Amino acid sequence: MGKPVTEIAKAVIQTEADSILLLKDRIDQKFDEACHLLAACKGKVILIGMGKSGHIAKKIASTLSSTGTPSFYMHPGEAGHGDLGVIAENDVVIMISYSGESDEMISLLSGIKRINVPIISMTGNSNSSIGMSSQFHLDVSIKKEACPNNLAPTSSTTAALVMGDAIAISLININNFSSDDFAMSHPSGTLGRRLLTFVSSIMKTGKDIPIVSLETSLLDSLLVMSQKNLGMVLIADNNKLIGIFTDGDLRRAIESNINFQELTIKEVMTRNCKSIGANKPALKALEMMEKFSLNSLPVVDSNNQIVGALNMHTLMQAKLF
């Protein structure tokens, strides 16, 4: 019998982890200059790779594009039959080939050089044709593949992928790429929705806001709370927020056996309650409600005038969690 599968799997992970750690000592001045070249690029970043390296190039291009560096993958075969024409003088090319001797990619070198476009290469051999033809060579060599025959690209592709991630994250820092910038390129996903949704777009407004005055009876206030279905009632004086009474306050009032018939809402409300501005990200409202164990939150303007209201269910409907 051969080795247990679990033993083989652990050996693969260890081999690839060791290969990645080798990259740390290769992050040097050349890497820094290559990143600043990419940050200064006025055009596009074109990634080229063949076979498994091509798949890695696609992923790196996707990561770069989503983090503020416009990039795309070009298949070397298609490039040699016309697609090379998309490369312009303001672009930068990243070529990925472990051997550095891919015929399909070597055939493109002269054309790229005629356009006078800088090349950054990732290979396992700095003296290879591609390595020698590049302005910046990034060493992604490994001691061995995770494949038992040392043939199938495993550790080598992982190393190239991690080097690509190192570039992308370095560029985030150089370009001061913010979470808001990230959201703009991810509008359809959960991340974008969480970052681009503002309180103003989901809050209840107008007649849907449960508002009562200070002198409103507790019973009438509970009726308003029930009708508006937000689990709270806001207490206001000329629409200026004074306090709040919530489902939680109601439970505590029941437990303390207060006289519901005689009290006004001002006698049981919570003053100086938490609130949020309409121009704040809805994610900020969620964080506030979780931090202070709130289920409801008034929305006010700079003068503490009530402009809206929301609760945890409102945030759930917005698919923020």
Longest Cα pair distance anywhere in the chain, in angstroms?
Answer: 91
Domain boundary among 142, 177, 212: 177
What's the CATH number where 20 sits?
Answer: 3.40.50.10490
- Residue 268 and residue 313 share a domain: yes
Report pLDDT for 3.
83
242 shares its domain with 105: no
Domain boundary residue, one of 127, 144, 177? 177
Q: Are 167 and 140 in contact (CB under 8 A)?
A: no
Helix H or strand E encompassing 66: helix 52-66
What is residue 192's predicted lDDT score, i.e. its pLDDT?
63
Query: What's 253's domain CATH number?
Result: 3.10.580.10
- Same-domain pairing of 146 and 109: yes
Domain assignment present for 213: yes
pLDDT of residue 254: 86
Residues 107 and 219 in one domain: no
Looking only at the bridges linking them, the beta strands covering 270-271 and 240-246 are antiparallel
Q: Which H or E element spans position 58?
A: helix 52-66
Which domain, by its residues, includes 147? 5-177
Q: Tell whether 187 is covered by a domain.
A: no
What's CA 251's distance to the chain center, in Å?
40
Cα–Cα distance for residue pair 92/134, rounded to 1 Å: 11
Strand (E) positions, 211-302?
A: 211-213, 232-237, 240-246, 270-271, 276-277, 296-300
- Can you give the pLDDT at residue 318? 82
Report the candidate in 177, 223, 157 with the shortest Cα–Cα distance to residue 70.
Answer: 177
How many Cβ atoms from other residues are within 10 Å of residue 178's Cβ?
12
* 186 located within any domain: no
Residue 102, domain member (yes or no): yes
- Structural domain contains residue 59: yes
Asked whether residue 146 falls in the same domain as residue 46, the answer is: yes
* 190 part of a folded domain: no
Residues 212 and 162 in one domain: no
Same-domain check for residues 299 and 229: yes
Q: Give whole-number Cα distances, 187 to 94, 158, 256, 280, 281, in Å.
A: 28, 29, 48, 18, 14
Six-digit token string for 252: 């505590």
- CA 228 to CA 236: how far, in whole Å? 16
pLDDT of residue 182: 63
In this predicted structure, what is the pLDDT of residue 187? 54
- Establish if 250 belongs to a structural domain: yes
Shared domain for 159 and 14, answered yes or no, is yes
What integer pLDDT is reported at residue 283 of this predicted model? 86
Place of tokens 């308003």: 224
What is the predicted pLDDT for the residue at 150?
81
Question: Average pLDDT of each block of 10 consecutive residues along the chain (321 residues)?
Answer: 86 95 96 97 96 96 92 93 89 97 95 94 97 97 90 92 96 82 59 77 95 95 94 95 93 84 90 94 90 94 96 86 66
232/116 same-domain check? no
Do 155 and 97 share a structural domain?
yes
The number of domains in the chain is: 2
Structural domain contains residue 249:
yes
Do 55 and 153 belong to one domain? yes
Among the listed residues 164, 169, 146, the one whose alpha carbon sits nearest the alpha carbon of residue 156: 146
Does 171 share its domain with 88? yes
Distance in angstroms (rounded) separating the CA atoms of residues 315 and 321: 8
